[in-house]
Amino acid sequence: MKKIETNLLDCYILEPDRFGDERGYFSPYYIEANLKALGFEGVKQANRSMSSKGVVRGLHFQEDPKCQAKIVEVIRGAAIDVVVDIRKDSPTYGEFTAVKLTADNNRQLFVPRGFAHGFIALEDNTVFQYLVDNDYAPNKEGGILWNDPDLNINWEEMFKENGITNPILSDKDKVHPLLKDSKVLFKRRNK
- Which one of the listed residues 12, 29, 30, 60 is annotated catalytic? 60
2-181 in CATH: which number? 2.60.120.10
The pLDDT tens digits for 132-158 are 999 999 999 999 999 999 999 999 999
Q: Count of CB atoms within 10 A of residue 83's CB? A: 27
Q: Is the pLDDT of residue 189 over 70?
A: no
Active site residue 176: no
Rounded to two decimals, the pTM is 0.90
